[in-house]
Structure 1
Amino acid sequence: MKRPWIGPLAFVVLVFLAFSLPPYLSFTPDNSRLPLDPRYPWHFPLLVGHILFGTVALIACSMQIWPWLRQKRPALHRWTGRVYVLGGVLPAGILGIFVGALAVTPGFSGKAGNVTLAIVWLFVTYRGFRAARAARYAEHRRWMIRSFALCTSIVVNRLWTVLLIVALSPMLDSQFGGDQDALIKQAVEAGIWLSWIVNLLIAEWWIERARTPKGRRPALAQA
């Protein structure tokens, strides 16, 4: 089955990484785009580890959804899958729990959103990996679609934040008392939740769509 959106998606992921990754490759806290909690000197190393392992996960999962790789190079597909799970999701997800809890910019709601995302990402990926090991490939595919949706939520997170800032701007004076920082904080927190919940809903729609034979519609009650 053709996937015309795979090329554009891979391009978006590469652009996102080209913009987000370089500041952390210097391993210098002053270059961090995210504010750090000065009470915890190990906050920055955890953040860098999360970003680097997350980069592995993003690149690997972009390869995993490529039908050609799965069909023509199944051995490479399997090895890329192991890299995605063991070298990407597992370390990035575990570190993401701590990084999310230490995040400075969002309040409790935003921290809860990031921590929940990391836990759910680890869970669905584990279920997909276990299904593959048991040769339950249809089940494996469904769980890994969910994992892919959660992995790429970081890419759309920025888009959600910008859209929410624009949407909330007319309410700057009435709802936020002219406090631009409060408006941005609200947009960041809402964007954290929306980025992965909406992605997961789209994944569920895709899974159900694949389960329904073409041309078949749910039975409707007769009038």
Structure 2
Amino acid sequence: MLKLTLEYIPTKADVSFLMIKQTEVNTHPEYLYFFYTHVYSSIFVLLSGFISVFVKPNRYFKNLHRFFGKIYVILLLLLAAPSGIYMGFYANGGFLAKISFLILGIFWWLTTYKAYLEIKKKNFENHKKWMYRSFALAVSAITLRVWKVVLVYFFHPNPMDVYEIIAWLGWVPNIILTEILIRKKII
């Protein structure tokens, strides 16, 4: 993901993924701002999310967990999710892909906000569950790309059909698996 993010430094409108988004770039001047906000904030959301999820808040790492948790929540609620929701309106793959990305962005924001509310109430167990849900949605950026490689390698579908499929495969299996793990008390 870092490698993908670095492709967009310095900011240009004609590189990588943006090559197929030229209609949006040319007709909606704000699109690039939302795109770059999403790309640049999401890499830090993923990094801080990995650290927050895998560094348990015990007496040794409590402050580290809290620090990266705050970065995750602030960047996600204020930048990454809202810009992702905006981009969902312009997603490739047609109506179904747009609906998927909009639902993903809204759920991502809501699960994170719920986790934030739970930690403010010092309900650590519910906070943990909501953060797992939020992070499952955050890593959809990774699983989406894995599914894209798998689908293209094995099935060679039309490029826009790929977006319609991976829009759902990127996050739905993640959240289902997370719910199963939470309910079975594995995580």
TM-score by length of 2: 0.90
Q: Letter of the aligned partner of 2:166 in structure 1? A: G
Count of residue pairs the alignment pairs up: 182
1:43 equivalent in alignment to 2:27: no
Which structure 2 segments of 5+ residues have no match?
none
Cα offset for 1:102? 2.0
1:30 equivalent in alignment to 2:14: yes
Q: Letter of the aligned partner of 1:17 in structure 2? A: L
1:55 equivalent in alignment to 2:43: yes
1:87 equivalent in alignment to 2:75: yes
3-state secondary structure, aligned to 1:210: coil
Which structure 1 segments of 5+ residues have no match?
1-15, 170-179, 213-223
% identical equivalent positions: 26
Determine the C-alpha separation between the residues in 2 that align with 1:58 and 1:98. Answer: 19
3-state secondary structure, aligned to 2:28: coil
- What's 1:207 paired with? 182
C-alpha offsets along residues 89-145 of structure 1, whole Å, 9 cap, x if unaligned?
431101111111123x32111111111100000001111110000000000000000
Listed as ranges, the matches of 1:63-212 within 5 Å are 63-67=51-55, 69-71=56-58, 72-103=60-91, 105-169=92-156, 183-210=158-185
Determine the C-alpha separation between the residues in 1 that align with 2:10 and 2:94. Answer: 28
Cα offset for 1:167? 4.5
Change in Cα spacing, 1:33 to 1:211, as seen in structure 2 (3 Å) is closer
More deviation in 33-42 or 195-204?
Answer: 33-42
- What's 1:177 paired with? none
Determine the C-alpha separation between the residues in 2 that align with 1:88 and 1:55. Answer: 10
- CA-atom RMSD in angstroms: 1.8
Cα offset for 1:162? 2.3
Q: Which has the larger radius of gyration?
A: 1
Cα offset for 1:160? 1.0
Cα offset for 1:22? 1.2
3-state secondary structure, aligned to 1:87: helix
Determine the C-alpha separation between the residues in 2 that align with 1:90 and 1:122. Answer: 9
Determine the C-alpha separation between the residues in 2 that align with 1:96 and 1:127. Answer: 18
